[in-house]
């Protein structure tokens, strides 16, 4: 570690990390495009110009991403010289940029917009027509490229070379005719394509799925954890105000996913946006499952539990540690052990992030003492049981909707799920919130805690599983009466 002065403040810096990292580490913002902490540095955008003074030599403006801290270095990110150099650089970057911000999906979170605003480059000398290029160049199923907006920072090129380690993109042609391209216009492949849309500092690479879906300033953003696999990547859930989840984006977490996430996780929000939600409760009467109040549903579940002292308790692998603990406590008081549905590997495992295990909280629930059970085993076990209660988000789906539907009516089934089950054995079903509608903790495959956040409210008539469990707690009921 060496001591350097940044904007008059003495700080410690790692001489092996570029100066820009030291600045960012001490909350000093340095505008940049090509630099990304997760990628190699090329120093090509020339935006991160800061004034550096060493010894008695006069200050020189240098790019902070290719300069390394040295003892006694005096760095100014705010000097007039560095601002002037950055403004100059911006003038060049904006020369051919189409400035179509009003219809750009990146507007509001665009580095070109932000740094131009920050540096105050209000006028430009450019009188020439802008470089006409392709506005909608498809790069496969996930990404669309707007060549006009591209500032050729090459982050996307380096991402494929360095993170999934399978080079797919390149800068084609020379000079002002350069464009980002794949070899022979082949579509991008792999499970990590979406990351380049996050990496892109401008609106050149956008997600096909997010194109024209929302203005980003209308998105409510909260830190949460991905439900796709047991890696539990840290993500940011973004919900259009009063509407649907529009994006999952990776959130930097050095211990888990660094800056990345897979596409399977990124686009796994069909379930949380599903419209056919189970609200209040459904209780079976002579004609089938009929809508009832939550209280009626809870009473039916309690009746089921009273009638069958050996009822199986089966949790969803989406249950949080907190929910799992309540289920386990309830099971223990009844003298049984709770199980949780644990489907086997789904074949999506890769060397980077995806573990192939579709149970986000397998480790958390196992540590609580819940027993994992494969869907096939569970179906057999349920068929031979007189009664069972299934708890939690997507429990029926993961246990195998067809297997549950095929259960004989000799098994009395109570279900707490987001979706109404289609099963003859089901006597009562009560709605619960999805993973973007409740709070709690998952524990990932390496033992890292991942918080999940209530980014949007659950539909009316859906209460947290914890409340249902409290209502079911017979001892608590007894104590009250």
Task: Summarize as ranges the residues that interact with another protein (CB under 8 A).
Answer: 42-47, 66, 85, 88-89, 91-93, 95-96, 125-128, 131, 151-152, 154, 170-171, 173-178
User: In the complex, what is the shortest distance from the CB of residue 47 to another protein, in angstroms, rounded to a whole number?
Assistant: 7
CB 194 within 8 A of CB 89: no
Q: What are phi and psi of 94, to 5 degrees?
A: -85, -5
| 3 state SS for 338-402 | CEEECCCCCCCCCCCCCCCCCCCCHHHHHHHCCEEECHHHHHHHHHCCCEEEEECCCHHHHHHHH
Cα–Cα distances (Å) from 208 to 18, 157, 247, in that order, read 34, 19, 12
User: In the complex, what is the shortest distance from the CB of residue 174 to another protein, in angstroms, rounded to a whole number?
Assistant: 6
Q: C-alpha angle 120/124/125, rounded to 5°?
A: 150
**Token pair recorded at residue 28:** 């000093």
User: In the complex, what is the shortest distance from the CB of residue 49 to another protein, in angstroms, rounded to a whole number?
Assistant: 8
User: In the complex, what is the shortest distance from the CB of residue 22 to another protein, in angstroms, rounded to a whole number?
Assistant: 18
**Token pair recorded at residue 424:** 């003859």
What is the b/e burial string over 465-475, where b = at least 16 CB atoms within 10 angstroms of the residue's CB?
bbebbebbbee
CB 402 within 8 A of CB 338: no
Q: Hey, which residues does 313 pair with through a beta bridge?
A: 389
Cα–Cα distances (Å) from 10 to 2, 17, 62, 398, in that order, read 10, 17, 19, 55
Q: Please, which residue, 179 or 196, has the CB nearer to another protein?
A: 179
CA 298 from centroid of its chain's CA atoms: 34
User: In the complex, what is the shortest distance from the CB of residue 41 to another protein, in angstroms, rounded to a whole number?
Assistant: 8
Q: Please, which residue, 6 or 151, has the CB nearer to another protein?
A: 151
Quote the radius of gyration of the chain (alpha carbons, Å).
Answer: 27
Cα–Cα distance measured from residue 84 to residue 269, given in angstroms and rounded to the nearest whole number: 45
Q: Please, which residue, 97 or 292, has the CB nearer to another protein?
A: 97
User: In the complex, what is the shortest distance from the CB of residue 181 to another protein, in angstroms, rounded to a whole number?
Assistant: 12
Cα–Cα distances (Å) from 73 to 17, 60, 84, 175, 280, in that order, read 14, 11, 21, 35, 65
User: In the complex, what is the shortest distance from the CB of residue 171 to another protein, in angstroms, rounded to a whole number?
Assistant: 7
Cα–Cα distance measured from residue 112 to residue 272, given in angstroms and rounded to the nearest whole number: 33
Cα–Cα distance measured from residue 294 to residue 71, given in angstroms and rounded to the nearest whole number: 67
CB 346 within 8 A of CB 356: yes
Q: Please, which residue, 32 or 468, has the CB nearer to another protein?
A: 32
User: In the complex, what is the shortest distance from the CB of residue 88 to another protein, in angstroms, rounded to a whole number?
Assistant: 4
User: In the complex, what is the shortest distance from the CB of residue 91 to another protein, in angstroms, rounded to a whole number?
Assistant: 7
Angle separating helix axes 321-333 and 465-472, nearest 10 degrees: 10
Name the one residue in this structure whose structure tokens are 């539907």: 405
Q: Hey, which residues does 39 pair with through a beta bridge?
A: none
Name the one residue in this structure whose structure tokens are 């984006």: 249
User: In the complex, what is the shortest distance from the CB of residue 40 to another protein, in angstroms, rounded to a whole number?
Assistant: 11
User: In the complex, what is the shortest distance from the CB of residue 170 to another protein, in angstroms, rounded to a whole number?
Assistant: 7
Q: Please, which residue, 28 or 48, has the CB nearer to another protein?
A: 48
For the chain, the distance separating the N- and C-terminal CA atoms, rounded to the nearest angstrom, is 66
Cα–Cα distance measured from residue 415 to residue 365, given in angstroms and rounded to the nearest whole number: 19
User: In the complex, what is the shortest distance from the CB of residue 15 to another protein, in angstroms, rounded to a whole number?
Assistant: 14
């Amino acid at each position: 570690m060496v001591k350097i002065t940044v904007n008059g403040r003495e700080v410690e810096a790692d001489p092996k990390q570029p100066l820009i990292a030291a600045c960012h580490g001490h909350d000093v913002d340095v505008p940049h495009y090509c630099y990304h902490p997760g990628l190699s540095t090329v120093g090509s955008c020339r935006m991160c110009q800061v004034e550096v003074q060493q010894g008695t030599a006069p200050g020189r403006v240098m790019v902070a991403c290719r300069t390394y801290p040295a003892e006694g270095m005096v760095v100014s990110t705010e000097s007039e010289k560095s601002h002037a150099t950055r403004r100059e650089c911006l003038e060049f970057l904006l020369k051919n940029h189409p400035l179509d911000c009003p219809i750009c999906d990146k507007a509001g979170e665009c580095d070109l917009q932000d740094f131009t605003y920050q540096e105050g480059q209000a006028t430009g000398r450019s009188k020439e027509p802008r470089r006409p290029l392709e506005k909608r160049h498809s790069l496969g199923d996930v990404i669309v490229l707007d060549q006009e907006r591209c500032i050729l920072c090459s982050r996307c090129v380096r991402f494929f070379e360095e993170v999934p380690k399978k080079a797919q993109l390149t800068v084609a042609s020379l000079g002002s005719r350069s464009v980002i391209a794949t070899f022979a216009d082949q579509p991008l492949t792999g499970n990590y394509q979406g990351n380049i849309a996050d990496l892109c500092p401008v609106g050149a690479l956008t997600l096909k799925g997010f194109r024209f879906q929302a203005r980003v300033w209308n998105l409510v953003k909260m830190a949460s954890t991905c439900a796709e696999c047991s890696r539990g990547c840290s993500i940011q859930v973004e919900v259009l105000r009063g509407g649907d989840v529009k994006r999952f984006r990776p959130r930097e977490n050095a211990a888990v996913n660094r800056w990345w996430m897979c596409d399977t996780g990124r686009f796994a929000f069909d379930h949380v946006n599903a419209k056919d939600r189970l609200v209040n409760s459904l209780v079976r009467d002579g004609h089938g499952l009929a809508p009832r109040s939550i209280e009626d549903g809870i009473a039916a579940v309690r009746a089921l539990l009273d009638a069958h002292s050996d009822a199986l308790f089966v949790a969803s692998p989406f249950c949080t540690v907190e929910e799992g603990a309540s289920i386990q406590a309830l099971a223990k008081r009844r003298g049984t052990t709770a199980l949780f549905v644990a489907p086997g590997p789904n074949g999506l495992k890769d060397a980077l992030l995806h573990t192939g295990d579709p149970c986000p909280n397998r480790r958390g629930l196992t540590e609580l003492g819940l027993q994992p059970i494969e869907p096939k085993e569970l179906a057999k076990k349920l068929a031979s049981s007189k009664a069972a209660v299934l708890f939690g988000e997507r429990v029926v789906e993961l246990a195998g909707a067809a297997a549950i539907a095929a259960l004989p009516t000799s098994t009395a089934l109570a279900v707490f799920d987001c979706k109404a089950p289609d099963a003859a054995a089901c006597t009562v079903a009560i709605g619960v919130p999805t993973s973007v509608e409740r709070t709690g903790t998952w524990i990932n495959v390496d033992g890292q805690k991942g918080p999940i956040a209530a980014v949007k409210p659950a539909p009316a008539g859906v209460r947290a599983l914890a409340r249902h469990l409290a209502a079911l707690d017979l001892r608590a009921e007894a104590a009250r009466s």
